[in-house]
Structure 1
Amino acid sequence: MSRHERAVERLGGLITERPGTIVLAFLAVTLLFAGGLGGTGTEAGTGQFTEDVPAQQALEDVQDRFGPRGESADTASTQLIQRGENVLTREGLLRMLALQESVLDREELRATEATSAATTVARTIDPEAETLAQQRATLREASDREVREAVRENADSPAFTGQLSEDFNAESATASATIGTVTHELPGGVSGTTGNDANSPMTPIQQEIETMAERSDGQFQVFGSGIVSGEFQTIIEDSLLIVVPAAVVLLLFFLIVAYRDPIDLAVGLLALSMTVVWTFGFMGLAGIPFSQMLISVPVLLLAVGIDFGIHIINRYREERSAAASVGAAMERTTDQLLVAFVLVIGTTVVGFGANYTSSLQPIRDFGLVSALGIAFTFLIFGIFMPALKVLTDRWREDSPIPEFSSEPLGEEDSALGRVLPVGVAIARRAPIAFLLVTLVAAGAMGAYGSEVDTSFSDEDFLPPEEQPGYIEYLPAELQPAEPQVTGTMNYLEETFPQGQEGTVIVSIDGQLREDYALESIHRAGEDPPETVIRDGRYADSQSIITVIEQYAAQNPEFAALVERNDRNGNGVPDQNLETIYDELYASPYEDQARQYITEDYRAAQVQYAVEGDAAQEAVGEDARELADRHRLDATATGETLVFEAVSDVIFDSAVRSLALALVATGLFLIAGYWVVARRPSLGVVNLFPIAVSIAALAGTMRYAGIPFNALTATILSVSIGLGVDYTVHVVHRFVDELDDGVDTLTALDRTVRGTGGALTGSMLTTVTGMGVLVLAITPILGQFGLLLSISILYAYLASIIVLPSALVVWARVA
């Protein structure tokens, strides 16, 4: 007897001889982990993905270096969207100013500045009206004709029209909507991360402004990063509220069908509950926050746990049907299944844990938590559940409780037992031809699926504008709040196309005192790339040149200084630049200058306006082209480039984790089958059907238009971890049957009827349990749940149909 066989036999003996001790020990550990459940915080949104990305660090460096007087304050903004028949009437403009003034008057809202079409119109009528109160007084005293003329006077200004809806009519001075902006100053560092998350300091501020807007007499809607972040938090709660009850109901139904015994059902449910408690208790003790990525983890654990539970109960019933006692049947069950469980758990941990190689922290957390959760699942279902089953069956033998169904799934005379051997029938007639056809088909699907898109944006994590139809049929307690953010974002894009431009930043490092420095900045914007918005021949941009032009327009002496140092007459000084910078820093435009050039004149930034609806990749390429045009060292950055960088990391993570999972799983299986059966080549055979199912899954993703995103990027490696579960059980049972002295086809027939029945029950419960994720109101979770269900179905079909032919060919060769 080999060493591993002796270890398994000793463990099986311990389970049957001291089941009570084992059960009590596991319950005590459960209480320990339960203490960590309250320590799990939450984290959601896109901000959690950008923290460690180099592009984000470059952006933070720009934000740190350029600011008024080097203060360590960050800024954020709130958009006040006003709708009406005509928001440019005197009354409509006064409503906007009244709300903005109310916000600025509240010190706790940290508002520092307000701009809107109303402020522009008021200052056009009276240039001396600098405060909101003065502007309101100006508009109250102005006639309707003066207001219309002021609107027409600004009709050619992009800054003004960008705040108005697309239906703006300059002649009649009408528009159905306008946007006012309030700027807030926050403590340094709290808003520096690109993207949105569920813990934004702007959330309570903007929620309070929402309340103020509802009390005003105008038709206002409030929008900003705090509103988006608040919805991210709500999404987690609403998704769990929908998914968990649905999963419980469906899993309970299928477990009843699979177990057909209330006591066995209770044992299985207790084991599943303990798995979740152990995993999330560990998260609380380790300080790992609960995020949208981790909503799928309990579903994954339930899937593997159900599979293990059904295999334990089904195999135990097979042994009991042969008239074995409780102890003997369970020892035989654990002798056969614990080895298979070790192979399954090792490959599953490898598949899930491969995501820990990602450079994105949320994906690493997913890899760590899911891998540890799977290890916990093995301990609970491999040791605790058999011990509890022994206790309950011995207690049942000594009690008058009636006997319930104890027949294993897949018996030969059952309907399922007649369908399952279809793969064996193919393997009996033409295994080599079938494998060649399968190999060609898998290659074609894999090649097709290699072009799957990659996506990363706030919209991936937000619910759709309109709620799914099934929501109205849910009990009132489970119905989520009506989503607002996606609808508002769509409305802004459709109604204010001029005001929805994006921004990219080119950060410049070098000696900006050199005569060519400003000319280089100016020439870089000439004939800009396609996604960059034009202002004539040049890119629409803001830089230190913009500040020079603004000050020159206000100060004739400075204008003369600029003209004297502009040798080619294009309005951009090209000598004595240090003198010009010194003048700016000594002028009222000092704060504006600091936003674009550092005090030592060795770093600058240029902000370019880009098309808001342009693809991230296109914007990134054009921004890097602009950076390359600069004579000094220049780096492109900005939120769009950060999101593009995250998309690239997501794709790299998917490929790297897939490659690692395949290689590590293959090596583990080869080593495992060498140890347990002295047949290492079975490891390759074991992996072949999974490779086929992964190729099919990649092709399905592209065909269905499902991209790699923050969560679906994990699907390929996760599918390996879950899919190997099915092939390992088939191969290990096949080896056991061969060792009993039967021929290859007989061993296969027994395998697919016995283990195939348990696999069918496991597949149905797993596909259903994971499929409930499509009910989640977040697209990213729905796509992940759909892909998980499809991957499990493919792995099951490959194990039942493809694997028998592979085993027949293996038997002939090996």
Structure 2
Amino acid sequence: MLDYQKYIDILDDWIVNRDTTVIAVFIITTLLLSAGFGMTATDSGTSQFTESVPAQEAFDEVNDNFERQPFGEGTGSTTLIQQDQNVLSKPAILDMLRAQNRLTQRASQNVVGTTSVAQAVAQTLAPNANTLPEQIDAVEAASQTEINSAIQTTLDRQPAVVGLLSNDLNRGEPSASATLTTVTHEVSGVSSSAGTEGSSPLTAIQQEAEFIVSSVDGDISVFGSGLISAELSSVVSDSLGLVVPAAVVLILFFLIISYRDPFDLLIGLVSLAMAIIWTFGFMGWAGIPFTQLLITVPPLLLAIGIDFGIHAVNRYREERIEDITPTPAMRTATDQLLPAFFIVTGTTVLGFAANGTSQLGPVRDLGLVASVGIIFTFLIFGIFLPSFKHFIDRQRVRYGLPEFSIAPIGSEDSAVGKSLTVGVTIARRAPYIFFALVLVATAAMGAYGTGIDTRFTNEQFLPPEESPGYVEVLPEAVAPSEYTVTKQINLLEDTFESGESDTVTIYIEGSLQDGTALEEIHRANQDPPGSFVTAGRSADATSILTVINRYERASPEFRRLVAQNDQNGNGVPDQNLLTIYNALYDSPYDDRAESYMTDDYTRTRIVYSVESDASQQEVTDDTRAVADEFRMGGTATGSVVVLKAVSDVIAESAYVSLGLAILASAAFLLFAYWLLERRPGLGVANLVPILLTIAALAATMRYLDIPFNVLTGTTLSIGIGVGIDYSAHLVHRFSEEYRGDTGVIEALNISVQGTGGALAGSMVTTTSGTGVLVLAVVPILGQFGLLIALSVLYSFIASILVLPASIVIWDHSRTTLDALLSSRSLLSPN
């Protein structure tokens, strides 16, 4: 057996004989790490989750090659959404033109162009009205009858204008309830992504645009990526503003009940604050940005820290209640607690570190930060808190300060202590039957939990359209901001044609001069899969073929050129393609051609419309199937495909990290108990309640329809890290008590009533502290908080009820094996 006691003795010596030195070292370290706070950046976008995803890389290439801004590089757009009883009435058209004009006149808006129905109608009324003031004058001078005639003419001549009007457009007596206007600004650093950028140069421009547009009569709102970025950042700060105070109040309340002593409460709170400061200071020094996922770290550190703190104080009180003085009482407490804390820390770190295998950078950061934070928590609560507690109690003795309570939670005669022995009673009477029922229940819940759905959308990170009811009763000082983006997204999807279907893209790389290149594109559009929007028997698609067909209709000469090179008469040229392309690029359609094919004729794209009610899975599978048909090599991409790819990575990460966490924790527990106690079987007994907890948590997720996403996908592996805390404390305490003449049931009773009381206090405090995440504005954070709180509750129940039976069966098995080996030894001729 490893003589680890000499190392603990060294720590004991520092804790009880050099407590002031230990306190000073930790305070200095806190000051140094706190400097990292000012270095911590914030990344609140969702594009961080799509980085390094192959579909996103292809999507970026598509955007780089084909999505050229109409006003050149370095431009971004803002959408104005106008709603009215009739946006095609004269007053409404004037309101929109005035809003555009005021934006254009403001130099800070850097407006380089605007596009709207109002402008198109004004130019139909007065073709020479090229500026917004002139267009306003033209509309003001016209009657509603003249405006209605101009609207009908505009809709006939410019079909694209229809897409800027709501679905309830009435062409006969022109009317519509909503319209869109695009304002283009000159900015730098604008990029396209399936995710939403965490910071955007458009944010300041669009926030100012909101103020400018509000000065115009009429219901006109501003929408754009910059405002989405701003709301994402606001959601993070607002969520913290709601969650942190609520967590502090609840944790403080339950800590007061658990400690029942103001000095011990102060020690616990200082240690918790120190763990948070160390962890976030480390993030700043390490250059790790603060993301939505890392909002979960403080509750997790509080969960472990509260547990460690209550255990340390409770175990110390168990010694002090026997009239033992502070120094020997603290030595005994740390002798038992430091190995237990080491086991808990090791398994918890492995649970978090398992997320390091994820392909998603923010999930890896979460695993790293949480792991480092748990190590900090071990140091603070394993060394600093006992030193601080010992120092305070020495001063109490020296100056005669009162001790408010030294009674541990869950003493033998208390109601809590008696209620915690239910599992021991079951273990004494029917351990095997109960254990068999537990195994069946674990298998059943685990099988049911394998049906958890996986989803990833940008909207998961945005606040709901309607704020939760509790927000209405909050004081104005703490009430979250008023959010509009989700409401606007839903409006765009429900009100305009562009919101009825999404698109996917197939990105093709290869020689497009080959005679079969365009024929391949043509064949891919025939008999499309079920999720694609169809026009007859063909897919609703736009590609280089679309541009060729449009130029054919405009140019008889080009039409003859295509016909001459169409060998099978299907309208698709299949020879001399270089000649076709050169003619196309020398035509007025060259800009459109460049939107679908590069000028070196080696890359092209096909954009397909897909059904709005089709699932991400269906759309992605169908798009990949079509892409695989291309001999040149096609890659399925587009926002739907990218988000589905991220969903797949999330699911893979969840199961891989869960498997690694279980295997690593099992190996660590076996090794730790062999090393420390020569009882490796206790590691298996330790793991049984955790497997039950994970199965119950997975079943709960499916039952409540909580999907795997970038946040909840980490809960199963984190559940191991947090949950194993409870069983590890009980098992280690049992191993300390189960020595000499103490029987297994008696040792279990002592362990459950002593350590179980601390577990109960920790469970109530932790579930409250992490459960307050349900108050977060973003539902995804509420789901995570609920699941972590449930994992703690399930872990506590499983440890108290299941662990005693697991230990009794381990003891029976060990005794039987020892007897068998002994009998074989006696029968041996040697």
State the TM bucket, normalised to the shorter chain. Answer: over 0.9
Q: Could you tell me whether the CA contact under 8 Å between 2:49 and 2:362 is conserved in 1?
A: yes
Residue equivalent to 1:115: 115
Distance 1:95 1:175 in 2: 15
**Residues 226-281 of structure 1: CA deviation (Å, up to 9, x unaligned):** 11111001011101111111111110000000000000110111111111110011
3-state SS of paired residue (2:607):
strand
Distance 1:711 1:158 in 2: 44
Residue equivalent to 1:715: 715
* Structure 2: gaps of 5 or more residues: 815-830
The change in CA–CA distance for 1:613 and 1:496 in structure 2 (over 3 A counts) is farther
**One-letter code aligned to 2:166:** S
3-state SS of paired residue (1:204):
helix
Q: Could you tell me whether the CA contact under 8 Å between 2:8 and 2:335 is conserved in 1?
A: yes
* Structure 1: gaps of 5 or more residues: none
Residue 17 (1) aligns with residue 25 (2): no
3-state SS of paired residue (2:802):
helix
Aligned positions of 1:431-510 closer than 5 A: 431-510=431-510
Residue 80 (1) aligns with residue 88 (2): no
Residue equivalent to 1:766: 766
Residue equivalent to 1:40: 40
Residue 482 of structure 1 and its aligned partner are, at CA, apart by: 1.4
Residue 544 of structure 1 and its aligned partner are, at CA, apart by: 1.6
Residue 166 of structure 1 and its aligned partner are, at CA, apart by: 2.5
Residue 97 of structure 1 and its aligned partner are, at CA, apart by: 3.4
Distance 2:275 2:632 in 1: 58
Residue equivalent to 1:386: 386
3-state SS of paired residue (1:222):
strand
**Residues 537-558 of structure 1: CA deviation (Å, up to 9, x unaligned):** 3222222222223333444433
3-state SS of paired residue (1:780):
helix
Residue equivalent to 2:172: 171
Distance 1:69 1:290 in 2: 32
3-state SS of paired residue (1:351):
helix
Which of 298-307 and 739-748 deviates more?
739-748
Residue 254 (1) aligns with residue 258 (2): no
Distance 2:93 2:35 in 1: 56
3-state SS of paired residue (1:632):
coil
Residue 497 of structure 1 and its aligned partner are, at CA, apart by: 4.5
Residue equivalent to 1:181: 182
**Residues 500-524 of structure 1: CA deviation (Å, up to 9, x unaligned):** 4322111112221223222321231
Distance 1:681 1:129 in 2: 87
3-state SS of paired residue (1:182):
strand
**One-letter code aligned to 2:772:** V
Q: Could you tell me whether the CA contact under 8 Å between 1:74 and 1:192 is conserved in 2?
A: no
**Residues 15-61 of structure 1: CA deviation (Å, up to 9, x unaligned):** 11111111111111111101111111111131111122111111112
Residue 183 of structure 1 and its aligned partner are, at CA, apart by: 3.7
Residue equivalent to 1:600: 600
The change in CA–CA distance for 1:618 and 1:564 in structure 2 (over 3 A counts) is same
Residue equivalent to 1:632: 632
**One-letter code aligned to 1:807:** I
Residue 612 of structure 1 and its aligned partner are, at CA, apart by: 4.0
The change in CA–CA distance for 1:100 and 1:593 in structure 2 (over 3 A counts) is farther
Residue 740 of structure 1 and its aligned partner are, at CA, apart by: 4.2
Residue 618 of structure 1 and its aligned partner are, at CA, apart by: 1.8
Q: Could you tell me whether the CA contact under 8 Å between 2:343 and 2:672 is conserved in 1?
A: yes
**Residues 120-152 of structure 1: CA deviation (Å, up to 9, x unaligned):** 445666777666566556545554334334544
Distance 2:32 2:634 in 1: 54
TM-score (norm 2): 0.94
Q: Could you tell me whether the CA contact under 8 Å between 2:45 and 2:199 is conserved in 1?
A: no
**One-letter code aligned to 1:251:** I
**Residues 410-458 of structure 1: CA deviation (Å, up to 9, x unaligned):** 1121111121100011111110010111111111111111010111111
Residue equivalent to 1:348: 348
**One-letter code aligned to 1:714:** T
Residue 614 (1) aligns with residue 614 (2): yes
Q: Could you tell me whether the CA contact under 8 Å between 1:69 and 1:594 is conserved in 2?
A: no
3-state SS of paired residue (1:403):
coil
The change in CA–CA distance for 1:203 and 1:379 in structure 2 (over 3 A counts) is same
Which of 90-99 and 692-701 deviates more?
90-99
Residue 620 of structure 1 and its aligned partner are, at CA, apart by: 1.1
Distance 2:111 2:54 in 1: 31
The change in CA–CA distance for 1:786 and 1:77 in structure 2 (over 3 A counts) is same
Residue 694 of structure 1 and its aligned partner are, at CA, apart by: 0.3
Q: Could you tell me whether the CA contact under 8 Å between 1:51 and 1:193 is conserved in 2?
A: no
3-state SS of paired residue (2:710):
coil
Residue 211 of structure 1 and its aligned partner are, at CA, apart by: 1.7
Aligned positions of 1:359-378 closer than 5 A: 359-378=359-378
Aligned positions of 1:665-704 closer than 5 A: 665-704=665-704
Q: Could you tell me whether the CA contact under 8 Å between 2:690 and 2:795 is conserved in 1?
A: yes
Residue 409 of structure 1 and its aligned partner are, at CA, apart by: 0.6
Q: Could you tell me whether the CA contact under 8 Å between 1:272 and 1:306 is conserved in 2?
A: yes
**One-letter code aligned to 2:576:** N
**One-letter code aligned to 1:593:** A
Residue 215 (1) aligns with residue 218 (2): no
The change in CA–CA distance for 1:190 and 1:162 in structure 2 (over 3 A counts) is closer
Q: Could you tell me whether the CA contact under 8 Å between 1:163 and 1:499 is conserved in 2?
A: no
Residue equivalent to 1:244: 244
The change in CA–CA distance for 1:108 and 1:573 in structure 2 (over 3 A counts) is farther
**One-letter code aligned to 1:304:** I
The change in CA–CA distance for 1:9 and 1:293 in structure 2 (over 3 A counts) is same
**Residues 614-662 of structure 1: CA deviation (Å, up to 9, x unaligned):** 3222221222233234343211111211111111111111011101100
Distance 1:618 1:416 in 2: 53
Which of 308-317 and 53-62 deviates more?
53-62
Distance 1:564 1:142 in 2: 51
**One-letter code aligned to 2:428:** R
**One-letter code aligned to 1:504:** V
3-state SS of paired residue (1:77):
strand
3-state SS of paired residue (1:636):
strand
Fraction of identical pairs, as percent = 52
Residue equivalent to 1:277: 277
Distance 1:274 1:568 in 2: 77
Residue 168 of structure 1 and its aligned partner are, at CA, apart by: 1.9
Distance 2:519 2:102 in 1: 45
Q: Could you tell me whether the CA contact under 8 Å between 1:67 and 1:594 is conserved in 2?
A: no
Distance 2:263 2:512 in 1: 79
Aligned positions of 1:542-621 closer than 5 A: 542-621=542-621
TM-score (norm 1): 0.96
Q: Could you tell me whether the CA contact under 8 Å between 2:56 and 2:642 is conserved in 1?
A: yes
Which of 168-177 and 92-101 deviates more?
92-101
Aligned positions of 1:775-790 closer than 5 A: 775-790=775-790
The change in CA–CA distance for 1:228 and 1:459 in structure 2 (over 3 A counts) is same
The change in CA–CA distance for 1:69 and 1:471 in structure 2 (over 3 A counts) is closer
Residue equivalent to 2:423: 423
Count residues in correspondence.
Answer: 813
The change in CA–CA distance for 1:518 and 1:133 in structure 2 (over 3 A counts) is farther
Which of 337-346 and 541-550 deviates more?
541-550
Q: Could you tell me whether the CA contact under 8 Å between 1:64 and 1:72 is conserved in 2?
A: no
The change in CA–CA distance for 1:177 and 1:457 in structure 2 (over 3 A counts) is same
Q: Could you tell me whether the CA contact under 8 Å between 1:81 and 1:180 is conserved in 2?
A: yes
3-state SS of paired residue (1:36):
helix
**Residues 736-759 of structure 1: CA deviation (Å, up to 9, x unaligned):** 111142111111111111110000
**One-letter code aligned to 2:575:** Q
The change in CA–CA distance for 1:183 and 1:564 in structure 2 (over 3 A counts) is farther
**One-letter code aligned to 2:540:** D
Residue equivalent to 1:401: 401
**Residues 715-772 of structure 1: CA deviation (Å, up to 9, x unaligned):** 0011100111000111011111111421111111111111100000000000000011
The change in CA–CA distance for 1:76 and 1:540 in structure 2 (over 3 A counts) is farther
Residue equivalent to 1:326: 326
Which of 58-67 and 127-136 deviates more?
127-136
Aligned CA RMSD, in angstroms, stands at 2.2
The change in CA–CA distance for 1:67 and 1:796 in structure 2 (over 3 A counts) is closer
**One-letter code aligned to 1:60:** D
**One-letter code aligned to 1:516:** T
